[in-house]
Structure 1
Amino acid sequence: MVLAYKVRSRLLLLWVMLLSLMGPGITGCATSNNTFSTDKQQLAQQSILSALWVYSAGEYRALCHQAFNIAKLQLDRRLSYHRGIDKPLAIIVDIDETVLSNVPYFNRLIAEGEAFPSGWKAWVGESTAQAVPGALAFLKYARFRGVEVFYISNRSMRDGLTATIDNMVKMEFPFADQHHLLLKKASGNKQPRRDRVEQTHEVILLIGDNLNDFSLIFTDKPTIQRNDAVDMMGSEFGKRFIMLPNPVYGDWEGALYNYQWNTSNAQKLKIREQYFNQ
């Protein structure tokens, strides 16, 4: 399975690189009379370098290992003085780009000139996402040390629970069951789900690739306010908050559009250019 995954990913990557090199030449003929498609393809092509970095860069893998190494140090530090607390200890982690990598899915989007959520339900249903470097070893270590793991993700509870559990069981992630996977039902706000875990457990670490994985203070804030909040809570990162790298997507992009994800493709391109030229 792992070999097939790697072969499929490499083939997709080669196609993405070819599309990037030939860009206007191969897309212009097919879409010269379709501005919507052209704008959508331009948005997709702008993601090529980010996806390529996640797929191929040793620096990406190093940052992932670094994050989980820090998490292990903080876990050990916390356990060293865990005394007289009634609640069991727990870690809360995100799933996508935190413990499971969706690089093949985003390669497909780029190659097809599409955007999320196109094909997402089908990708989740394949249950073939691989582990983010360092994630599996760390979470197994947490279980060994007697710490429970809860997965809070905005994958759909209705459409994605069974497939996600299957995927995580295949990868041998601990606590991959309905009790420990808290997926999205209606709202994407993760705070109520974090509160639910904290009612019964003492949460010692939160791990994610998006600021919304850590605190409500970051939710739906404009870019400047998000950055100010990070600086205000800077001492928590590397201590209680462990951040994974993800340059491909996230609420950092949504903040550019004031979280109006239905903004037209042409307007998204314009907004990106405006931010770049500031």
Structure 2
Amino acid sequence: MKHLSLIALLFLLACGSSRQATKVQPASTLVVDGKIWSSAFQQRAAEYKALCIQAFYLARIQIEQLPAATGKPRAIITDIDETFLDNSPYAVHQAFQGKDYEADSWHAWTARAEADTLAGALSFFKYAAAKGIDIFYVTNRDEVERAGTLRNLQRFGFPQSTDDHLLLRQTSSSKESRRLQIARTHDIVMLLGDNLADFSDLFDKKTEAERNAGVDALRASFGSRFIVLPNANYGGWEDAIYQNSRNWTPAQKDSLLRAGLRNY
């Protein structure tokens, strides 16, 4: 009798373990867990490192092939986050707490000035500066992040990491007015970014279809004047999935994400 009772107990435990192992993950955790996977790719995948090296190598080739400067001084406009600074530790920190991006925690992170550089970035910008090209850092970090941002850039010795070459977000997240400001005094020979809006206002707050159409329209610029860095963690592509709104609950975000995926 005791032997039969033991067998029955083991059977029940096995069934319970099986149900636990196959339990469907709550939908509201999909976005947060996705940040862990994208951060793992950014931090640990040699393929990600290779993509960054490839982007900056291509950028260098384009600079080498520029004709002699005439007229206005030449300039490169570059984004900062996930273009040459790695903020994946912030995404991991948030995800481990079950959270996505928050302005206050982001500001606390950038104030630490601890973001590392992406492979190939620093040597490229030093090379371009040595060629007499001015570097302008155009970012949608906020004004309260200026001091921490400059400390981070200066920590690694990025060229021209000074107030007048750091253009932060003021009244709009669109970078077009800042690009035009630089264009008044400089010949912009290259733009670098991880987000399509880093290159043209054609991509500001657009739908997925509009973004894809914009890429087709500017096809000739990619790999020459436009150098794109990979970012699977966040960006305009994610905003487009959420219809350029930040008013969704985590569960609603998950529904929007799933709804647009191809399956069979």
The bucket for the TM-score relative to the shorter chain is: 0.7 to 0.9
Residues 43 and 265, structure 1, Cα contact 8 Å, conserved in 2: yes
Q: Which amino acid is the alignment partner of residue 185 of structure 2?
A: T
Q: CA RMSD in A?
A: 1.5
* 1:151 match: secondary structure: strand
Residues 35 and 92, structure 2, Cα contact 8 Å, conserved in 1: no
Structure 1 residue 180 displacement after superposition: 0.3
Structure 1 residue 97 displacement after superposition: 0.4
CA 1:40–1:179: 2 relative to 1, 3 Å: farther
Cα distance in 1 between the residues matched to 2:29 and 2:113: 27
Pair 1:114 & 2:99 matched: yes
Pair 1:145 & 2:131 matched: yes
CA 1:95–1:129: 2 relative to 1, 3 Å: same
> 2:36 is matched with which residue: 48, 58, 65?
48
Pair 1:156 & 2:142 matched: yes
Q: Which amino acid is the alignment partner of residue 175 of structure 2?
A: K
Pair 1:165 & 2:150 matched: yes
Structure 1 residue 42 displacement after superposition: 3.2
String of CA shifts for 1:96-118, please: whole Å, max 9, x gaps.
Answer: 00111101111111111111125
TM alignment of 1:1-278, pairs within 5 A: 40-78=28-66, 81-83=67-69, 85-117=70-102, 119-157=105-143, 159-277=144-262
Cα distance in 1 between the residues matched to 2:28 and 2:145: 26
Residues 97 and 246, structure 1, Cα contact 8 Å, conserved in 2: yes
* 1:167 match: secondary structure: helix
Structure 1 residue 39 displacement after superposition: 5.6
* 1:54 match: secondary structure: helix
Residue aligning to 2:13: none
* 1:163 match: secondary structure: helix
Residues 139 and 174, structure 1, Cα contact 8 Å, conserved in 2: yes
Cα distance in 1 between the residues matched to 2:243 and 2:249: 13
Q: Which amino acid is the alignment partner of residue 199 of structure 2?
A: F
Cα distance in 2 between the residues matched to 1:277 and 1:244: 25
Residues 256 and 271, structure 1, Cα contact 8 Å, conserved in 2: yes
Which structure has the larger Rg over C-alpha atoms?
2
CA 1:39–1:123: 2 relative to 1, 3 Å: farther
Structure 1 residue 235 displacement after superposition: 1.0
Structure 1 residue 237 displacement after superposition: 0.3
Cα distance in 1 between the residues matched to 2:242 and 2:167: 28
Q: Which amino acid is the alignment partner of residue 226 of structure 1?
A: R
* 2:65 match: secondary structure: helix
Residues 205 and 241, structure 1, Cα contact 8 Å, conserved in 2: yes
String of CA shifts for 1:64-105, please: whole Å, max 9, x gaps.
Answer: 010000100101111xx224x220000000000011110111
Residue aligning to 1:32: none
Query: What count of residue pairs does the alignment treat as equivalent?
Result: 239
Structure 1 residue 41 displacement after superposition: 3.5
Structure 1 gaps of 5+ residues are 1-24, 29-37
Structure 1 residue 264 displacement after superposition: 1.7
TM-score when scaled to structure 1? 0.83
What is the identity percentage for the equivalent residue pairs of Structure 1 and Structure 2? 38
Structure 2 gaps of 5+ residues are 1-19
Structure 1 residue 40 displacement after superposition: 4.9
